[in-house]
C-alpha cells in the first residue's frame, strides 16, 4: 500500500465528516454523504479462474437484491468466479449479467455474503462532486479513498475484446488506482453512480468510470437476475 493511499484513507473521513451505521440497503437519491465505513464493508475481492495460469483479480461491491457488481473484463471467459468478503470467506458466484461494451458485470453469490449492500443513485455523477472509492489493500482489507469528479464524459473506446467501437458514458475522476482495482464503485452523495473500468494512461491519479446500467438500478430487474449467462471468451 502506498503512502498516498494511507493519506487518502486518513483524510477521507475528515473530508466527508460522516458517521458509520447508515442504512444503505435501498436505492436512494437523497443527499446523504457517502459513509466510508459502510462502503468498505460492502466492498469485496473478485477472483476469476479459467483464463490461463494466473487468476484474474478485481473489485466488487454488494448492491441491493443480493447482487455484486464489478467490471466485465474481470470475469470474461472465467470458468469459476469467487467472491471474497471482508472476513476472508470465499463464496462461489454465478455471473448473471455481462456487458462487454459497457464493461459491467453482475454476480449472484451462491449464498449470502457478510457485506451489506450500498445505496445506488439513479442521478448521474457531475463535475465538482466529491465522493469515495473503496479498493482492496494488499492485506485483503477494503480501503476508502477520496475521489473528485473532474469531468462528465462519454468515452469513445472499444469493447473489452478491442473489436467493436463503443461509447461509455461516465466520469473522469481524480483517484489513484492500481491493477486489481477494476470494478470498484464510485460513491457520491446519495449513492453509488459508476464502476471503474480503467486508469488513465497519461495522467497520474486519474481513472475512468462508466455509469451504472439502467437495469441494475431497477429493483425488479435485479431480482430477476438469477441464471448464469455467457461470459464470452478470455481476453
Three-class SS state of 42: helix
Convert 193-225 to b/e letters by CB count within 10 Å (16 or more is b). bbbbbbbeeeeebbbbbbbbbeebbeeeebeeb
Domain 3-38+119-213 and domain 42-116+216-224 have a common topology: yes
The model's confidence at residue 34, banded by pLDDT at 50, 70 and 90, is: very high
Q: How far apart are CA 107 and CA 169, in angstroms?
A: 22
In order, the DSSP letters of 7-35 are HHHHHHHHHH---S-----S---S-PPP-
- Comparing CA positions, the residue from 81, 196, 85, 68 lying closest to residue 140 is 85
Average pLDDT over every residue of 111-122? 95
For residues 99 and 29, which has the higher predicted lDDT (pLDDT)? 99
Q: Would you say the pTM of this structure is higher than 0.85?
A: yes
For residues 200 and 158, which has the higher predicted lDDT (pLDDT)? 158
Q: Which three cell numbers stand for residue 22?
A: 447508515
Q: What is the pLDDT of residue 138?
A: 85
Query: Domains of the chain: which residue ranges?
Result: 3-38+119-213, 42-116+216-224
Average pLDDT over every residue of 16-28? 41
Each residue's pLDDT tens digit, 173-185? 999 999 899 999 9
In order, the DSSP letters of 68-121 are EEE-HHHHTT-SEEEEE-TTS-EEEEEEEEEETTTTEEEEEESS--S-PPPPB-
Please give the class, per CATH, of domain 3-38+119-213.
mainly beta
Domain 42-116+216-224 in CATH 3.10.620.30? The answer is: no
The model's confidence at residue 30, banded by pLDDT at 50, 70 and 90, is: low
For residues 158 and 5, which has the higher predicted lDDT (pLDDT)? 158
Q: What is the pLDDT of residue 2?
A: 41
Amino acid at each position: 500500500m502506498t503512502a498516498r493511499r494511507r493519506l487518502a484513507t486518513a483524510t477521507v473521513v475528515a473530508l466527508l465528516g460522516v458517521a458509520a451505521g447508515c442504512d444503505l440497503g435501498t436505492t436512494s437519491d437523497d443527499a446523504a454523504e457517502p459513509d466510508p465505513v459502510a462502503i468498505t464493508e460492502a466492498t469485496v475481492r473478485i477472483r476469476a479462474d479459467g483464463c490461463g495460469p494466473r487468476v484474474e483479480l478485481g473489485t466488487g461491491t454488494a448492491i441491493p437484491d443480493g447482487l455484486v457488481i464489478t467490471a466485465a473484463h474481470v470475469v470474461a471467459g472465467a470458468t469459476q468466479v469467487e467472491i471474497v468478503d471482508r472476513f476472508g470467506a470465499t463464496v462461489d458466484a454465478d455471473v448473471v449479467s455481462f456487458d462487454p461494451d459497457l464493461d459491467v458485470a453482475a454476480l449472484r453469490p451462491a449464498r449470502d455474503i457478510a457485506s451489506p449492500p450500498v445505496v445506488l443513485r439513479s442521478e448521474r455523477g457531475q463535475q465538482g462532486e466529491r465522493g469515495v472509492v473503496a479498493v482492496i489493500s494488499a492485506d485483503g482489507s477494503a480501503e476508502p479513498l477520496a475521489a473528485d469528479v473532474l469531468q462528465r464524459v462519454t468515452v469513445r473506446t472499444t469493447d473489452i475484446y478491442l473489436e467493436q467501437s463503443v461509447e461509455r458514458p461516465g466520469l473522469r475522476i481524480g483517484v489513484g488506482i492500481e491493477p486489481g482495482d477494476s470494478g470498484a464503485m464510485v460513491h457520491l452523495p446519495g449513492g453509488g453512480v459508476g464502476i471503474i473500468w480503467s486508469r488513465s494512461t497519461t495522467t497520474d491519479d486519474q481513472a475512468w468510470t462508466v455509469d451504472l446500467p439502467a437495469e441494475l438500478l431497477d429493483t425488479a430487474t435485479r431480482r430477476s437476475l438469477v441464471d448464469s449467462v455467457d461470459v464470452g471468451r478470455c481476453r
